[in-house]
Amino acid sequence: MSQLRKGDNAPDFDLEDQNGNTVKLSDYSGNKLLVYFYPKADTPGCTKQACSVRDARSELSNSGLTVVGISPDAPRKQKEFEEKYDLNFPLLSDTDHAIAGAYGAWGEKSMYGKKYQGIIRSSILVDENGKVAETWYKVKPEETVPKAMEALKA
């Protein structure tokens, strides 16, 4: 799938969170939303990324931003991840990676010379009207929050 660009409509989603609740993009209508995609719960980079979001939650909220994380992990795995690191935001399960694909966060990767399909760590800032305000593809785990905060101040 191709990457999203500023001004595109954010693709709708309807995914189960770590608590078994259905979460939709439309639930955030009228609010700014940071949608970030991560490869696998409870791995070093994903833990660093999730904990940075957790630690900045009040600052992000004070800036009018809500955050959801999306990975191919099942809700049960997301729940274990949430509990282990005391995460305080929705972790959505995209087991068939259809939403990651729609957001341009699913594609070819390589490790040790082997190519495969997987999550491209990405963050997408969606404005109050459901439009893409900013995109960060191949974002480093520690850059997710600073880049979002910088965009909010611009």
- Residues with active-site annotation: 46
* Rounded distance between C-alpha atoms, residue 28 and residue 20, angstroms: 18
Any idea what DSSP says for residue 92?
Answer: E
List Cβ neighbours of 78 (8 Å cut-off, separation of 6 or more). Answer: 17, 18, 41, 71, 91, 92, 93
